[in-house]
């Protein structure tokens, strides 16, 4: 198995773009989401993208292949909402293990095909672990500031189930991403460490936070430096930022992160900021220019795209990434 750490020392690795953006192109109906297996399911299922790994696996494999063709080195599994906490919205908590396992398996099969065709450019699969739709640090009720909708332990248990299934399905890396509340992420990291210890394995971990606005803080109020300190007790493969901001807006925060850490760094920004309709208008060429700024300044080791990005964006990013050396980082075990 090619070692992702070794590859990161040689070159900048390219992460894929948005799974959701690509799935929108298919215009799947409620019936498509249900497939035969869930035809009579009592809850509405349209919008449950993770479920498509079971009902439309060909489409999921196709999206992964398009990103690899565009130049991605790493694709993320279709498991952003793959916890019992997020799946409760669809009354599908019981399916969590299967959703994660199958999603990992689909991505791994596609990655292996591409690696086999070009062993010089090994392809990797990152198990996508989203933030869930609940927050451990903040109250959802302004009248009850002390109230919490979820506990650390509930998060840990849910994340552990997801992590076990992703590893069983064959992922190469675990990506705890779109972190708006570092306490949620710490529950995920705790769960990962638990699984590693129980199974006596080591698996690289990527962590990616979200700076929500021009305040330069996460939703739960942490600065770049505080976020980094909160997650750095675990030996991470990389730390970075994704979502919420476009590449241009993200740069100053990435600069601060890059200056402060010895881990590899990553970024997968949105295709600009959303317009009035919540859509992303930044073209692949525009995004390439902003990303090239990161590369010139030696800020990243892993670069990709989040909301609104497509294989066209990833192709433009990969083209730029080839021309630059990866950010220098001190050797670490």
- pLDDT attached to residue 2: 60
At residue 315, does pLDDT exceed 60? yes
- pLDDT attached to residue 162: 98
At residue 17, does pLDDT exceed 50? yes
At residue 332, does pLDDT exceed 50? no
Please provide the average confidence, as pLDDT, over all residues in the chain.
96
Q: What is the mean pLDDT of residues 51-62?
A: 98
Range from 136-145, 235-244, 312-321 carrying the lowest mean pLDDT: 136-145
Between 33 and 277, the higher pLDDT residue: 33
- pLDDT attached to residue 181: 95
The confidence band for 1, taking pLDDT boundaries of 50, 70 and 90, is very low
At residue 333, does pLDDT exceed 90? no
Provide the percentage of residues in the chain whose pLDDT is more than 70: 98
**Distance of alpha carbon 76 from alpha carbon 96, whole angstroms:** 17
> 216 and 252 in contact (C-beta within 8 Å)?
yes
At residue 133, does pLDDT exceed 70? yes
- pLDDT attached to residue 213: 86
The confidence band for 38, taking pLDDT boundaries of 50, 70 and 90, is very high
């Amino acid at each position: 198995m090619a070692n992702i750490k070794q590859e990161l020392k040689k070159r900048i690795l390219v992460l894929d773009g948005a799974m959701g953006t690509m799935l929108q192109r298919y215009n799947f109906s409620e019936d498509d989401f249900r497939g035969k297996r869930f035809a009579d399911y009592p809850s509405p299922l349209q919008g449950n993208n993770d479920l498509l790994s079971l009902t439309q696996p060909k489409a999921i494999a196709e999206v992964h292949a398009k990103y690899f063709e565009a130049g991605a080195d790493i694709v993320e599994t279709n498991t952003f909402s793959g916890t019992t906490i997020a799946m409760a919205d669809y009354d599908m908590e019981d399916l969590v293990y299967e959703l994660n396992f199958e999603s990992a398996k689909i991505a791994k099969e596609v990655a292996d095909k591409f690696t086999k065709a070009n062993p010089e450019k090994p392809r990797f699969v990152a198990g996508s672990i989203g933030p869930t739709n609940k927050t451990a640090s903040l109250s959802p009720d302004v009248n009850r500031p002390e109230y919490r909708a979820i506990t650390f332990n509930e998060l840990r248990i849910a994340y552990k189930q997801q992590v076990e299934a992703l590893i069983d399905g064959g992922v190469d890396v675990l990506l705890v991403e779109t972190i708006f509340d570092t306490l949620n992420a710490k529950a995920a990291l705790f769960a990962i460490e638990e699984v590693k210890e129980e199974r006596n394995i080591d698996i690289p971990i990527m962590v990616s936070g979200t700076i929500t606005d021009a305040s330069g803080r996460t939703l739960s109020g942490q600065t770049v430096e505080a976020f980094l300190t909160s997650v750095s007790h675990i030996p991470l493969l990389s730390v970075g930022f994704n979502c919420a901001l476009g590449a241009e807006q993200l740069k100053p925060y990435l600069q601060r992160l890059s200056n402060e850490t010895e881990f590899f760094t990553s970024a997968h920004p949105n295709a600009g900021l959303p317009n009035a309709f919540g859509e992303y208008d930044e073209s692949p060429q525009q995004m390439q220019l902003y990303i090239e700024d990161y590369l010139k300044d030696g800020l990243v080791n892993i670069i990709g795209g989040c909301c609104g990005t497509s294989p066209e964006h990833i192709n433009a990013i990969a083209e730029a990434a080839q021309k630059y050396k990866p950010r220098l980082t001190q050797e670490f075990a």
